[in-house]
Chains A and B, each alone.
Chain A
């Protein structure tokens, strides 16, 4: 049968396969010892090729020309020592295991050699241990290399991810910029149609025009918000000493109309100074306070703004007595374009909290939504209280 035949063929192939090759560089003055070492090596699982050098200069030249898989070195090399070979390997930037094969060394010397980076230490009168030492040394090296490869591949993935994020932000920015102009034409002319021709066609036509106007306006507001969202990623987050009380004051000023219209009460506790991008932080407060005003319940909104020091962070909270967020939605509200209500209930594009999250994260912080004590919502975010170096963003 062909399947069996193939398997047998493979086994046959394996059995005739030669042993893995291993090139050994010997630093050993005594030819009899060299002979013994090579004989011991020949018993092992490797096909050994070997080379011998005597002086430090020869050694340096040889490892440059033909780097071995492993170096076996006596401790005492006449003019120099095996530990010096170790230094030369290091100077040449070569990660090659060095095993000392030596007569008895004092405990102190042996420990010192291992400390300096000798891979293993085999006594000449127990050479049988050499193959174990060799296997161990090669295994160590392999796992070192694997670790290095894993680290490199991780670093590469991180870089790829960062680049793809940058590309995406660039794309969002350009797309929304270039979409604006044709969209403005659609919006302006449908509006013009609506204004100039209202009642001159028929009811149906007026309705259709309204739909078109509404769609174009909504698209414009989406693009506007998307542009704001992508801008957070594109701009350098320049951090300055910022008085959060002032930032909240500015945000409240912009919301003055909505505050007086809803009869809202805003309670403010003293807030700290910290290193932040002032305009971005204002945007955060404006979005959070705007939400607290928008998603209000039957009674007038009561909004409480506070901050508490917790370890290295300031924990800010904006609490309201509004309609609240159901538990299963507490996380998804931060996803861009995610909305929990129809546009007729509450207008909006579902970008506000996504922008807040992005800004807070670029400041090295985090944000979460929690159910309030009496039905409302608490938006809580942490910002590092520390030095700018701690919160600097790699742009």
Chain B
């Protein structure tokens, strides 16, 4: 019997935060395949399977930082949620910002949830584990939209 691992796309420009998130996911309950990209343009290329990402698997979950080079996280979110081929994919915002303006804007852009990056290691690990357990273990996920 083969287990199909959940695919997670992590969009994070800060390598320290990226590694910490990957570490936390690796220590979470539900195993997953993690792909990481470091800017917004790459994230869209990955999701649209463009060029070097032609063979990329469509992720079951996107973890998206907001302040990103080249294409901002908010713009990525807006593009994903207005693209019929991508809009079903749950996007969890994972950002340092706790500004109400950012939080509200992201929900308006149809983010599936907004998690602010905790400031301590323990809280960070706990937050990522909760995200992992909810989205991979508890929530029912959609099928990929046929084009």
Contact = CB atoms under 8 A, between A and B. Distances in A.
Given A188-B20, A189-B16, A181 B96 contact: yes
Interface string B101-115: 000000000000000
B51 to A, nearest CB: 31
A220 B16 contact: no
Nearest to A185: B16
Interface string A164-203: 0000000000000000110111011101100100000000
A313 interface: no
Nearest to A195: B121
Interface in B16-70: 16-17, 20, 23
Interface in B105-140: 117, 119-122, 124
A332 to B, nearest CB: 30
Given A185-B16, A189-B16, A220 B120 contact: yes
Nearest to B19: A189
B96 A188 contact: no
B96 A180 contact: yes
A275 B121 CA distance: 41
Interface string A122-162: 00000000000000000000000000000000000000000
B16 A187 contact: no
Given A185-B16, A185-B17, A191 B121 contact: yes
A361 interface: no
Contacts of A184: 96, 117, 119
Contacts of B121: 187-188, 191-192, 195
A210 to B, nearest CB: 14
Contacts of B20: 188-189, 192
A217 interface: yes
A220 B119 contact: yes
Interface residues of A, number: 14
Contacts, number: 32
A187 B117 CA distance: 13
Contacts of B23: 192
A115 to B, nearest CB: 61
Nearest to A193: B121
B129 to A, nearest CB: 15
A192 B119 CA distance: 13
Contacts of A192: 20, 23, 121
B119 A180 contact: yes
A191 B124 CA distance: 11
A217 B96 contact: no
Contacts of A191: 120-122
A11 to B, nearest CB: 72
A153 B14 CA distance: 50
Nearest to A190: B121
> Which residue, of B20, B121, B122, has the highest number of chain A Cβ atoms within 10 A?
B121
A188 B122 CA distance: 8
Contacts of A185: 14, 16-17
A189 B120 CA distance: 10
Contacts of B124: 188
A33 B16 CA distance: 95
A185 B124 CA distance: 11
Nearest to B123: A188
Nearest to B20: A188
A217 B120 CA distance: 8
A187 B122 CA distance: 11
> Which residue, of A188, A189, A220, has the highest number of chain B Cβ atoms within 10 A?
A188
A188 B18 CA distance: 12
Nearest to B120: A187
Nearest to B118: A184
A187 B124 CA distance: 11
A189 B18 CA distance: 12
B74 to A, nearest CB: 18
Contacts of B14: 181, 185
A183 B124 CA distance: 14
> Which residue, of A180, A183, A184, A224, has the highest number of chain B Cβ atoms within 10 A?
A184
Which 10 pairs between the two chains have the least Cβ-Cβ distance? A191-B121, A185-B16, A188-B121, A184-B119, A181-B96, A220-B119, A188-B20, A192-B121, A188-B124, A187-B120
Interface of A: 180-181, 183-185, 187-189, 191-192, 195, 217, 220, 224
7 contacts: A181-B96, A184-B117, A185-B17, A188-B16, A188-B20, A191-B120, A191-B122
Given A180-B96, A185-B16, A191-B121, 5 more contacts: A184-B117, A185-B14, A187-B119, A188-B124, A192-B20
